[in-house]
Amino acid sequence: MIELKKRIITSIFLIILLYLMYIYNYILIISLIVISLIVWIEFFGIILKIFYKNDLKNKIYRHFFKGLSLIYLSLLSFLIIFIFINQNDFKFFAIYSFLVAIASDIGGILFGKFFKGRKLTKISPKKTISGSIGSFVFSMLLIFIFSKNFENYSFMKVIFFTVSISLISQIGDLFISYLKRKAKVKDTSNILPGHGGFLDRVDGIIFALPYGIYMSKILF
């Protein structure tokens, strides 16, 4: 229940920030740049810990993890650049992607806590199949909440859009869990007392947001 409380507190903070970002463009830009930079620093720190604690002498592994760092930075850079270019067009789909990631996170924890069941993967022992299903279920609820916004679009496209964002969010969560496991650390940093790092709180969102914005341009 402690993890659930942390996620709910984080979600409330992010939703308030999201509301302010929606109203004020300057808060939107500044917030995303600052959070993105902090998250990337934490991510790069995890990569360095993997090198240090696992003594990775193999050049292939070194290039692989360096490549992951560059890919992650590219995702964040893409998001910021896209915002500058499309400030008026992206807002709804960015917010929707943001909320899908939050819903996936909370749904996963709730279903995993109450239904338990088989583990989803060895990467993160706390993740269960029921939790993954809960992530999709909670995400799908947003389709009905925002039904008026999607009334001019194909229902099947909206379902695919929502479910795929949830999937990417879950993959992002597992990916960071995998890196923390390799680095042998519980949290990416201690910047948020009692919560770890920014990356621990927004791991799924950081992956889901660029994907959601990009896919919205393709599907809609």
Each residue of 178-211: pLDDT tens digit?
Answer: 888 877 888 777 776 555 677 777 788 888 887 8
The pLDDT score that the predictor gives to residue 69 is 63
Nearest to 114 by CA among 4, 201, 8: 4
The pLDDT score that the predictor gives to residue 165 is 96
Higher confidence at residue 106 or residue 7? 106
Residue 71 is encoded by which pair of tokens?
């890919």
Contacts of 206 (CB under 8 A, 6+ apart): 36, 39, 72, 75, 76, 172, 199
| Most confidently predicted of 27-36, 44-53, 155-164 | 155-164
pLDDT band at 31 (very low <50, low <70, confident <90, very high): confident
Burial label for 57, CB within 10 Å (0-12, 13-18, 19+), is exposed
pLDDT band at 169 (very low <50, low <70, confident <90, very high): very high
Nearest to 52 by CA among 167, 140, 156, 184: 184
CA distance 87 to 82: 8
- Is the pLDDT reported for residue 75 higher than 70? no
The stretch 61-78 carries a mean pLDDT of 63
CA distances from 87 to 12, 24, 36, 82, 127 (A): 24, 11, 17, 8, 36
Go through 4-22 and write b for each residue having 16 or more CB atoms within 10 A of its CB, e for each that does not.
eebbeebbeebeebbeebe
Sign of CA pseudo-dihedral 162, 87, 148, 102: positive
CA distances from 128 to 3, 54, 109, 114 (A): 15, 28, 9, 11
Residue 73 is encoded by which pair of tokens?
């930075």
The pLDDT score that the predictor gives to residue 137 is 96
The pLDDT score that the predictor gives to residue 193 is 59
Q: Which amino acid is at 39?
A: V
CA distances from 60 to 51, 53, 56, 179 (A): 12, 17, 9, 17
